[in-house]
Amino acid sequence: MRPEPIPSNLRALVVGVVSAGGLILFRATVPYPADMDLSRVLFWTLITITTAAFPVKLPGGVVAHITTAPIIAAVFDTQLVNPFAVCWIALIGTTEIRDVRRQVAWYGTLYNRFAYVLAAFAAWLVFNFAQPVLKADEVFGTIALIVLVGLAFSITNMFLAVAAASLRTNSPMARIWALSVSNTLFGTIALVFLGWLMAEVATKVGLWASVLFMVPLLLARYSFTKYAETRAMFFGTVSALSQAIDAKDGFTRGHADRVSRIAGAIAREMGLSERNIEEIELAGMLHDIGKIGVEDQILMKPARLDPHEQELMRRHPIYGAKILEPSESLRPLVPLVMHHHENFDGSGYPDGRKGEDIPLGSRIIIVADAYEAMTSDRIYRKAIGHERAMDQLNRYKGIQFDPQVVRALDTLLEKRGAEAFDVSELPPINYETLAELRKRLAREPVARDAHAG
């Protein structure tokens, strides 16, 4: 079987990390340190391999491990005074079952192993330079040393992990950081201090005693798992709410997903923080959730609405806000959903807000919503195309749309082309809409219970 080729955008990073890690490993090994206690090296390697068997896949494509603790313990183990030990423990000990089963590309395995070598060596360097300066026998000196060593290891490790995930997924590093790392920092800090404590116990009590720390390590792994599961559950809930309106209104199927992606891309083009971008994407996904409260004959009318029907339809942002309000997790999205039909000149609804009094996320969503609507087919009209859609947006900027948001969309499309938001890769939706169900039932006879008289 031919080896899997390395994508061009990853090649330079992989070569650089593997080369640097290999050079450090060679320099730490040659000449071989004669006074090395191989039994301690083997012990920390086995502990690290054991912890590597429990990876947690985080959002954004980064995999979290609890191997930080035993590697940090090896750095603080005063009986291992040579980088040989730390580098080889990091190289061999972080081997995963995924690597053995070839579930990770060969270059990914190489990159991951030598990224750990670089992180461990950085921690060892800081330890050896900082220990003589800091008074390690004092409380504050010890804490400062732990923090510095932990920072050296964690920053190197996280940067290399985020950089690889960013290049592999073509996502900004800030987004990968926000999705994968920012919410697990507390757990990582805890692993660093736990690693120091493992080294202290191993040195003063015995290696066997540090095995007891597997219990808190597994608890730390459990916290990573719960974070990943909670986040997945949250986004599953958002997706289910979004698909609820698709199940009722087949005319705009997939509309919310497209609006979400367009709005997120505009927000990123405008330089907003990843936290704000995520909120805008979620609000874009749920901006029409209030249509669940709109009567079917209005929502599914295959023609333009009369004034009375339009007035009833205009209540859907209020309904949407009320649906989201009870959920603490979704509450930050309420103002964005509530005001996504406010016009820039104050002529919109439901509150007639104007200009910057409208939340920025709402101003982005209304532009994304209008662009998506004009470039997608509807049952009562065909799509008007990218150029005419942008003409309409530019014509009404300052009236209906925020000029800054329209310019950001224009710039984005100039960079990426009119197909920037192609949705051909969207998974098919396999459920019937309410309209389709009614049509089918009208054609089919009602099935009777076989035991009925």
Contacts of 164 by beta carbon, 8 Å cutoff, 6+ apart: 10, 13, 108, 111, 115
What pLDDT sits at residue 247? 67
Give per-residue pLDDT as tens, 279-289.
998 999 888 88
Residue, of 74 and 432, whose pLDDT is higher: 74
- Is residue 271's pLDDT more than 80? yes
Phi and psi at 333, nearest 5°, equal -85, -15
pTM beyond 0.75: no
123-130 long-range contacts, Cβ below 8 Å, gap at least 24? 123/71, 123/72, 123/75, 123/86, 123/149, 123/150, 123/152, 123/153, 123/156, 124/75, 124/83, 124/86, 124/87, 125/152, 126/151, 126/152, 127/75, 127/76
CATH for 8-231 (1.10.1760, 3.40.50, 1.10.3470, 1.20.120)? 1.10.1760
Of 2-11, 186-195, 333-342, 435-444, the one with minimum mean pLDDT is: 435-444
The average pLDDT across 258-277 equals: 88
* Token pair of 337 as six digits: 């959903």
- Is residue 80's pLDDT more than 80? yes
The average pLDDT across 279-302 equals: 82
pLDDT-based confidence at residue 353 (cuts at 50, 70, 90)? very high
DSSP 116-132: HHHHHHHHHHHHHHHTT
Residue, of 297 and 149, whose pLDDT is higher: 149
- Is residue 380's pLDDT more than 60? no
What pLDDT sits at residue 1? 42
Residue, of 397 and 241, whose pLDDT is higher: 397
Of 57-61, 91-95, 190-194, 315-319, the one with minimum mean pLDDT is: 57-61
DSSP 207-255: HHHHGGGHHHHHHHHHHHHHHHHHHHHHHHHHHHHHHHHHHH-GGGTTH
| 156 alpha carbon, distance to own chain's centre | 20
- Is residue 20's pLDDT more than 90? yes
The average pLDDT across 316-334 equals: 89
- Is residue 393's pLDDT more than 50? yes
What's the rounded Cα separation, in Å, for the pair 260 and 262?
Answer: 6
Residue, of 383 and 283, whose pLDDT is higher: 283
- Is residue 229's pLDDT more than 50? yes
**For the chain, what are the domain ranges?**
8-231, 249-440
- Is residue 302's pLDDT more than 70? no
What pLDDT sits at residue 249? 58
Percent of the chain beyond pLDDT 70? 85
What's the rounded Cα separation, in Å, for the pair 36 and 444?
Answer: 81
The average pLDDT across 94-119 equals: 89
What pLDDT sits at residue 440? 46
pLDDT-based confidence at residue 144 (cuts at 50, 70, 90)? very high
What pLDDT sits at residue 432? 39
What pLDDT sits at residue 72? 94
Residue, of 137 and 20, whose pLDDT is higher: 20
Residue, of 218 and 86, whose pLDDT is higher: 86
Of 125-129, 141-145, 289-293, 439-443, the one with minimum mean pLDDT is: 439-443
- Is residue 33's pLDDT more than 90? no
Report the CATH architecture of 249-440. Answer: Orthogonal Bundle (1.10)
Residue, of 64 and 201, whose pLDDT is higher: 201
The average pLDDT across 8-31 equals: 89
- Is residue 130's pLDDT more than 70? yes
What pLDDT sits at residue 341? 92
Percent of the chain beyond pLDDT 90? 32
pLDDT-based confidence at residue 383 (cuts at 50, 70, 90)? confident
What pLDDT sits at residue 112? 92
What pLDDT sits at residue 435? 46
Q: What is the DSSP letter of 41?
A: H
Residue, of 380 and 47, whose pLDDT is higher: 47
- Is residue 51's pLDDT more than 80? yes
- Is residue 434's pLDDT more than 80? no
The one-letter amino acid at 309: E
Mean pLDDT across the chain? 82
Residue, of 227 and 320, whose pLDDT is higher: 320
